[in-house]
Structure 1
């Protein structure tokens, strides 16, 4: 994945690609897990709950079935994107800890207040964040924490989030944590700190068969 695109994903929680599949049973090494990041186990159920939060928010923010279907179409691959974000958040947090970077509640509140003012109010801001970045209202503060953490980490390294020094710190954190994804959701590229689709013939066949089933 291009470095600029990965930066955009990290700082905006933007959505990428691939069909969402939530029926995974877990890898042989970690049954029921979508991913294992260090001592933290992200279950398929937790991932599914996160995806449902987005879908529920999209339903509430749209008028009629047609608009809702359009919102879904624009956020295809939500499960894999969401897992990517959940893993990357943990990797970033580890890198920030290693660099003695912290984010305060006050910093999050100040950032949110400024963004709400720019958007024309709290509600408008929530809708914008959902439509643009796929972040539901209840996860906005978490998302802002990640963005601030990334910016402060980059500043500590004397770089910005597009430069090699920043991504090297994430790569080192990935190695320390030992990220392990369920093959259904791809693999984790330690050097790029990014999820990549697994190239497994049996997985492609299952994916295609399930994608043809009615919702």
Structure 2
């Protein structure tokens, strides 16, 4: 994916979506893992929990059933995009740590206060972040912390988040973390610091044969 599109995901923690999961067995080395980052597992259960947080928030924000179905259709790749963001968040945090960058709670609060003023209040900001970026209200502060880390990292490198030097730092962090995605969710491109669809014909064959999808059911 083009670097400028990835930038949007870095600074917004990503626009939610949720393509149907492909059927595939988890990695033999990491059963039950959606991904392994820095030796730590992101489990399928953790991924499903994050996706369901967004779905519950969307349901609460859009009580009309017809409108809610439209929301589901427009966010049909939520599961994969959520995993991408969960991994990218760790990559960005590692890149910031490598440069000695940290973000304080006060900085997050100041950023949030400014955004709430622009949006017209706390509820309006939460709704905007949910609708535009697929961020559940409970994850808003985490997202803002990562945005601040990205801004500080770019500033320290003397660049901005759309430029090669910034993405080179993320690529370095990706290599250090030795990211391994479960094939059902694709693969991790170290150079682009991005999830990509894996070319695994056998996965498609299993899906066609069984007519089922792996992982815990997610409303979509």
TMscore range, shorter length: over 0.9
> Is the 1:35–1:182 contact (alpha carbons within 8 Å) kept by the matching residues of 2?
yes
TM-score, normalized by length of structure 1?
0.93
CA deviation vs aligned residue, 1:1-41 (integer Å, no higher than 9, x gap) = 01110111111233376614297652122100000001221
Note the 1:11-22 alignment, pairs <5 A: 11-15=11-15, 19-21=19-21
Whether the aligned pair in 1 keeps the contact of 2:181 and 2:188 (CA below 8 Å) is yes
Alpha-carbon displacement from aligned partner over 1:88-119 (angstroms, at most 9, x marks no partner)? 00011111000000011011101111111111
Cα pair 1:25 1:33 within 8 Å, conserved: no
5 Å matches for 1:49-64? 49-64=49-64
Which residue number in structure 2 is paired with residue 201 of structure 1? Answer: 201
Measured in 2, the distance between the counterparts of 1:163 and 1:112 equals 26
SS in 1 for 2:27: coil
1:134–1:74 CA distance, 2 compared to 1 (3 A): same
Does the aligned pair in 1 maintain the 2:57–2:137 contact within 8 Å?
A: yes
5 Å matches for 1:101-116? Answer: 101-116=101-116
Asked whether the equivalents of residues 22 and 44 of structure 1 are also in contact (C-alpha less than 8 Å), the reply is no
Unaligned runs of 5+ in 1: none
Query: Could you say which residue in structure 1 is the equivalent of 2:40?
Result: 40
Shift of 1:205: 3.6
Contact 2:16 / 2:135 at 8 angstroms: preserved in 1?
A: no
Structure 2 counterpart of 1:65 = 65
- Cα deviation for residue 174 of structure 1 reads 0.6
Equivalences for residues 90-101 of structure 1 within 5 A: 90-101=90-101
Q: Retained in 1: the 8 A contact 2:91–2:177?
A: yes
- After superposing on structure 2, the runs of 4+ consecutive aligned residues of structure 1 that deviate more than 6 Å are none
Shift of 1:201: 1.1
State the structure with bigger RCO (CA 8 A, min sep 6), 1 or 2.
Answer: 2
Cα displacement string for residues 107-141 of structure 1 (whole angstroms, at most 9, x for unaligned residues) = 11011111111111111111111000000100000
